Amino acid sequence: MENDSDINQYMISLKYQFKSYLRTKRFIGLLLFTTIISIGITALLLHDEYNMLKAGTPLFYFYNYLSNFSVDLVVIIGAFFGGDIISTDTGTNAAYYTLVQPVRRSVLFLGRYTAALISSFIIVLVYFIVGAGSSFYLYGKVTPVVFEGLGILVLFLAAAISFSALFSGIFKGQSSGIIVSVLLLFLGFPIIDTFVGSIGGLDPVFSLDFAGEIMYLIFDNPYPAVKVVSSSGFPHKVASTFYTFSPTIMQGLGVITAYIVICGVIAIILYARRQIEG
């Protein structure tokens, strides 16, 4: 009976949180933003590189299309939907009602987490749909690899939401977790990746953004080399060495899964602890 109760409570949490997301300006605004970005990138590709794309393949097109903004889009949307999963209670008066209900905090968290994942996926799916439409326009078909990309997208979104939920448990304010998550995912990780990877020559395997690149790298045929070393310099000057790293598919999936599990578990622990302290 206890398991049935947990399942029912999970479904209730999922249902009402999902309905709440669909009515928010956040959902509508990000949906419009994604639509505009998708159409804008498609228009630029077709205008600037039409002949090259037309002579290529659906795989080539999707690699160019997704490599432009897909990782950034996922981390931004994941941060917005995961950054206040916990603080929506602890940062508002809703805590006085929600936290006294006979429901496990872990069940409540998982319901909200799932609602955030579904809402985020709906938005990012628009990006793939516009890409699929333009692929039909160019080639009359879409590569089946797009389904693998969608699978990785779900995992990557789940990791971004878990990471953001962690900061939602650290900060009481609703906006604080979102802001910190966006800054770290959108700016922090890319900057660190540049210094550690491109300049330092070390594989930035710890980076969620780096791991998420497999979402579009699977469309590159052949799959890019794990490490590429290049040099630049002028005569009589010391040449600078730059490194380009690409995560393997298994490496990327492993890092993404680790972020989902580790950050999710810590977020649940923080939520339960906040309940005890509150």
Residue by residue, pLDDT tens for the chain (278 residues) are 345 578 888 888 899 889 989 999 999 999 999 999 999 999 999 998 999 999 999 999 999 999 989 999 999 999 999 998 887 776 555 554 555 556 688 888 999 999 999 999 999 999 999 999 999 999 999 999 999 999 999 999 999 999 999 998 888 777 888 999 999 999 999 999 888 888 888 889 899 999 999 999 999 988 988 878 876 654 555 557 888 889 999 999 999 999 999 999 999 998 887 754 44
Q: Looking at residue 36, what is its pLDDT?
A: 96
Residues 6+ apart with CB under 8 A from 221: 59, 60
Query: What pLDDT does 76 receive?
Result: 94
Q: What DSSP element (H or E) covers 214?
A: helix 214-217
Q: SS3 for 40-104, per residue?
A: HHHHHHHHHCHHHHHCCCHHHHHHHHHHHHHHHHHHHHHHHHHCCCCHHHHCCCCHHHHCCCCCC
Total number of domains constituting the chain: 1
Give me the residue label for tokens 């795989």. Answer: 59
pLDDT of residue 275: 54
Cis ω before 222 (30° cut-off from 0): yes
Q: For the chain, give the longest Cα–Cα distance.
A: 78
Instruction: State the residue range of the domain holding 51.
Output: 2-277
End-to-end CA distance of the chain: 29
Q: What is the pLDDT of residue 31?
A: 96
CA dist 117 and 235 (Å) reads 53
> In this predicted structure, what is the pLDDT of residue 201?
84
List pLDDT tens digits, range 200-235: 888 898 999 999 999 999 999 889 888 788 766 545
